[in-house]
Amino acid sequence: MRKILLAVSAIVLIAAAAQTPDASLRIAAVSAKPGPCASLDATAAPGEKAYFDHLAKRLDVKVLKCPVADPAAAAAALAAGSLDMAVLDPASFAPVAGATRAILTIRPEGGLNRIPVVVAAPAAGPAKRLEDLRGKTLAFGGSTPAARALPSKVLADRGLGADVFKAELVAADAADALGKLRSGEADAIVLHAAAWQRLCMPDDPKAKPLCSDLKVLLKARPQAAQAIVVRKDIANEARYRLIGIHMPMHLENRTAFSWASSWAPKAAEFEPAEALALVAAR
C-alpha cells in the first residue's frame, strides 16, 4: 500500500494567497530520495495530478510535491514549521503532539464513523477511573457493531481487552444494559454516545437527567490508525477549509480522492477528527 504524506502551507491558504504571489501548498510523499519541493513532473500518476489540480483550484495556490524519508521525518518537519500538514500514525504523532493536531481521518467502506463511547458506573460505587474496572463486569448496550465492536475497540486502545474483565454482558439494548447495572449484575455500562444520549439525556433541558445516579469514567473515540495532522497554530479558517475540501472529495473528484486516501485501505470518505485522534487518552 502506497504511503502518502500530505503537507500544506496553511498560513497562506486564505486571503494571503492574493497578496503573496509565491504562496504554495506543499504536499509531501514518502520517498527513497528525499529532496526539495517542486512542481509535479510529466511522469506523475493521473490520480496525483488530479489531486494537485483539485487543491490548486480550490485554494488558489501553487501546489508542490515535497519528498520526505518517512512519517517520522514528516512529523519533525511539521513541528519545526517546515511543513504544515502531514499524514501521521500514532508513533510518529506522539513526539509532536504538543505542536500539532489531527483534523481528518478516513472511514473505510462498510466501517463505522469514529463516534464517541461512554463508560459509566454508579456514582456511589468504588470505581473512580477506567482502570478501576479491571476484574469487574461490564454490560454492553447490544450486539451491533456500534454497540459491541466499537466500544470494545475503545477499551482495547486503552489496554483493557476482554481478558482483564470478569465478564462482558451483551444486553438487548442500552436500556437493558442500564437495568443490569442498577440491579448489580454489572459494575459498569459501555454505550456509544448516541445510545447514551437517548437513554440518559432528556429532551427537556429543565428535566432531571435520567442517569444522575451514574458517573462517566470515560468518553472517547477509538484511536485512529492514521490521520491528517496540521500545526496547532494553524488559523481556524484555514483548518476549516482543508476539512471542507477533503470531506466531499469522494463525490466531487473520485480520481483525486483515490490517490489522496491511498494510505488507508478501502477508503470510503474523509471525516473530521478531534485534535488527539491518534492518542488513546485514558
pLDDT by residue for the chain (282 residues), tens digit each? 444 444 433 333 333 333 333 577 777 788 899 988 889 999 999 999 999 999 999 988 888 888 889 999 999 988 988 888 899 999 999 999 999 999 999 999 988 889 999 999 999 999 999 999 999 999 999 999 999 999 999 999 999 998 999 999 999 999 999 999 999 999 999 999 999 999 988 777 777 778 989 999 999 999 999 999 998 988 888 889 899 999 999 999 999 999 999 999 999 999 999 999 999 866
Q: Sign (positive/negative) of CA torsion 132, 138, 142, 143?
A: positive
Cα angle: 110, vertex 116, 118; to 5 degrees:
125
Structure pTM?
0.81
- CATH 3.40.190.10 domain residues, the chain: 10-111+223-272, 117-220
215-231 CB burial, b ≥16 within 10 A, e <16: eebbebbbbbebbbbbb
Torsion of CA 108, 111, 114, 115, to 10 degrees: 150
Contact 220, 214 (CB under 8 A): no
Contacts of 262 (CB under 8 A, 6+ apart): 1, 2, 4, 47
Under CATH, which number does the domain 117-220 receive?
3.40.190.10
As its CATH architecture, domain 10-111+223-272 has: 3-Layer(aba) Sandwich (3.40)
pLDDT of residue 57: 93
Angstrom distances, CA of residue 203 to CA of 176, 197, 207: 20, 9, 8
Q: What is the distance between the alpha carbons of residues 40 and 131, in angstroms, rounded to a whole number?
A: 51
In this structure, the strands spanning 188-192 and 117-122 are: antiparallel
Grid-cell match 470531506, residue found: 247
Contacts of 236 (CB under 8 A, 6+ apart): none
DSSP 133: G
